[in-house]
A and B are shown apart, each in its own frame.
Chain A
Amino acid sequence: MSKTNLPILSIETSGGLCSTALLISPEDYFEISISQRHVHSKKLLSLVDDLLLQAGLTLDEIKGIAVSMGPGSFTGLRIGLSSAKGLAFGSGLPLIPVPTFDALAYQILSMLNEEEFAVANKVNTEEIYFAKYKCNLDGKPVESGKIKLINKGELSQLTEDFKVFGDAAGNQFSSPNAWAVAKWAYLFGKDLVTSDYDLLEPTYLKEFKIKVKK
């Protein structure tokens, strides 16, 4: 399988983590992250700037911008994607939209070597984004089913015989680091590279329901 061109700049803002990385070779990366809520719109660009400075690169030496597409915080995803669109448009670079859960699954797999596991993140107090992963021969985590929106009560039935990651399972693995977003884009994102990103939207997944007062 052919790989995506390097270096890749990546942006992850789907959750509490505001993370940016530069993957400069298959093994080497720079990453700067802040784990704090409500700072993403303020800090993201400074992190990108620091990252380029540390790596001694300029934007025109980058080959593509990988951005984490969700599911996750609607506002967080929009901060990431509108920043990515601005950077890409200004510097003439293509975007690589990366499915957030796939990048997270890749990160879990490369760190913990689990064969079969699930990711479950809270949407609100009642609902959960849920996806089950299995590892294939390339080391690519494949979704056994699509990402689903489930009720809190369903989680225990769906995950009887394997580990669950994500904030709905009460652990820290709720969003990937930007290095994993970049790495996923490098390994598996070649077909997703696009310069036609004007209308690109985050993977909101959850349908937005409007209650109209009678």
Chain B
Amino acid sequence: MKILAIETSCDETSVAVLENDEVLVNLISSQEIHKKFGGVVPELSSRAHLQIVLPLVKSALKKSHIKKEEIDLVAATAGPGLIGALLVGLTFGKSFAYSINKPFFPVNHIEGHIFSGFLMDEKPEYPFLCLVVSGGHTLLLNGESPVKIFQLGSTIDDAAGEAFDKVSKLIGLGYPGGPNIEKQSKLGKDFIDFPIAKLNSKYDFSYSGLKTAVLRYYQDFTSHPENYKEVSINDIASSFQKAAVNALIEKLLLAISEKDFNSISVVGGVAANSLLQSKLKEIGDKKKIKIVIPALEYCGDNAAMIGLRAYQLFSEGLVYDYETNAFPSLHNNTFITKQ
């Protein structure tokens, strides 16, 4: 079956065409306008989606050599995300599906990320340990099947990607934080000892303590430069990155020591981080466990993962009507249960 998928949950407009679980095209248009505000401005994001979505749909159909009448299923992200932004893709998708007389499928964005490893040639094997690390979410999950996902832990404050963005802003490296910090880290050394949170709930994450520690350090660094002659901004970036990545790796190691998983999949924007990737490779080699990290275009927000998730659930026999609506938070319309 041919699937047209639309993703408009944040600042990326994306449209993909899939033939079952195989991606034919995956187009992503990033909104550059938010850069000057140091973060995503929801109203501007919604406005841009409305401008971009139809040209992108047309272009995706053209590039995949598929006529709109040949589409069998239309999918769109229904949430979680910025509600005004979600509504553009969702209402466009619904009405397009209706007008070509085909079913519409709303997709949970986080579930899209969780299964994005299945877009790769080497797919995760069930049960798989999944770490979702993006600007909005940090979740550790046990994926037993497409419809059985258990949440082991999550962040209790900032998401990992959010911590990168905030720290980057604090130390003057700007937005977007992830790529900037990674770039500067390569020029520095990670000798500063920043703390990793210890929490009561063993699989939960916390980044606010780390963020504050970096802020205090940076304040002292700028007000008393005489004490920091051997330290550069790049060293601070590099040390933060090490601590932030180690906080993730710790939990992964704990989870695989307590339960048998056939693979590990790390997904979301932060999965593109090269330090995280090299640490994961080490774990894979040492523990003899399969590691799946989606290709770069599937790490950030993309419609291919939305199409794939729609295909999985459609294959499970799920159907939705045209009254399906957008939702802002994670635990709506989901197969994720808290454990």
Nearest-CB distance from B106 to chain A (Å)? 11
Verify B323–A43 contact, CB threshold 8 A: yes
Q: Does B50 contact A (CB under 8 A)?
A: yes
Number of residues in A with C-beta < 8 Å to the partner?
33
Verify A45–B323 contact, CB threshold 8 A: yes
Main secondary structure of the interface of B (DSSP, over half): helix
Interface string of A147-161 (1 = CB under 8 A from B): 000000000000000
Nearest-CB distance from B56 to chain A (Å)? 10
Interface set, chain B 75-97, CB cutoff 8 A to A: 83-84, 87-97
Verify A74–B99 contact, CB threshold 8 A: no
Verify A201–B50 contact, CB threshold 8 A: yes
Verify A83–B58 contact, CB threshold 8 A: no
Number of residues in B with C-beta < 8 Å to the partner?
36
Given contacts A41-B325, A41-B326, A46-B323, contact A83 B94 (CB under 8 A): yes
Q: Does A112 contact B (CB under 8 A)?
A: no
In whole angstroms, what is the CA distance A16 to B168 when docked?
Answer: 42
Interface string of B22-62 (1 = CB under 8 A from A): 00000000000000011001011011001101110110000
Q: Does B126 contact A (CB under 8 A)?
A: no
Verify B46–A59 contact, CB threshold 8 A: no
In whole angstroms, what is the CA distance A212 to B54 when docked?
Answer: 31
Q: Which residue of A lies closest to B94 (CB)?
A: A45
Verify A90–B99 contact, CB threshold 8 A: yes
Q: Does A25 contact B (CB under 8 A)?
A: no
Verify A82–B99 contact, CB threshold 8 A: no
In whole angstroms, what is the CA distance A54 to B47 when docked?
Answer: 34
Q: Does A86 contact B (CB under 8 A)?
A: yes
Nearest-CB distance from A68 to chain B (Å)? 15
Nearest-CB distance from B44 to chain A (Å)? 7
Verify A79–B91 contact, CB threshold 8 A: yes
Verify A199–B51 contact, CB threshold 8 A: yes
Q: Does A122 contact B (CB under 8 A)?
A: no
Contacting residues, chain A, for B91 (C-beta < 8 A): 41, 44-45, 78-79, 82-83, 86
Contacting residues, chain A, for B326 (C-beta < 8 A): 41
Verify A41–B96 contact, CB threshold 8 A: no
Main secondary structure of the interface of A (DSSP, over half): helix
In whole angstroms, what is the CA distance A133 to B143 when docked?
Answer: 62
Q: Which residue of A lies closest to B90 (CB)?
A: A41
Verify A199–B325 contact, CB threshold 8 A: no
Verify A87–B43 contact, CB threshold 8 A: no
Q: Which of A74, A75, A87, A208 interacts with B96 by CB under 8 Å?
A: A87
Given contacts A74-B46, A75-B46, A89-B99, contact A83 B323 (CB under 8 A): no
In whole angstroms, what is the CA distance A83 to B326 when docked?
Answer: 14
Given contacts A78-B50, A86-B95, contact A49 B322 (CB under 8 A): yes
Q: Does A42 contact B (CB under 8 A)?
A: yes
Q: Which residue of A lies closest to B44 (CB)?
A: A208
In whole angstroms, what is the CA distance A4 to B296 when docked?
Answer: 49
Q: Which of B58, B96, B97, B325 interacts with A198 by CB under 8 Å?
A: B58
In whole angstroms, what is the CA distance A64 to B115 when docked?
Answer: 40
Nearest-CB distance from A62 to chain B (Å)? 10
Given contacts A74-B84, A78-B88, A208-B44, contact A87 B323 (CB under 8 A): no
Q: Does A111 contact B (CB under 8 A)?
A: no
Contacting residues, chain B, for A198 (C-beta < 8 A): 54-55, 58
In whole angstroms, what is the CA distance A24 to B327 when docked?
Answer: 36
Q: Does A91 contact B (CB under 8 A)?
A: yes
Q: Does A84 contact B (CB under 8 A)?
A: yes
In whole angstroms, what is the CA distance A81 to B87 when docked?
Answer: 11
Verify B84–A75 contact, CB threshold 8 A: yes
Q: Which of B41, B44, B95 interacts with A45 by CB under 8 Å?
A: B95
Q: Does A137 contact B (CB under 8 A)?
A: no
In whole angstroms, what is the CA distance A201 to B83 when docked?
Answer: 18
17 A-B residue pairs with Cβ-Cβ distance under 8 Å, sorted by A, are A43-B323, A45-B94, A46-B322, A59-B99, A78-B91, A81-B50, A82-B92, A83-B91, A87-B95, A87-B96, A88-B99, A89-B57, A90-B100, A91-B99, A199-B55, A201-B50, A208-B44
What 6 pairs between A and B have smallest CB-CB spacing? A90-B99, A86-B95, A86-B96, A82-B92, A86-B92, A83-B95
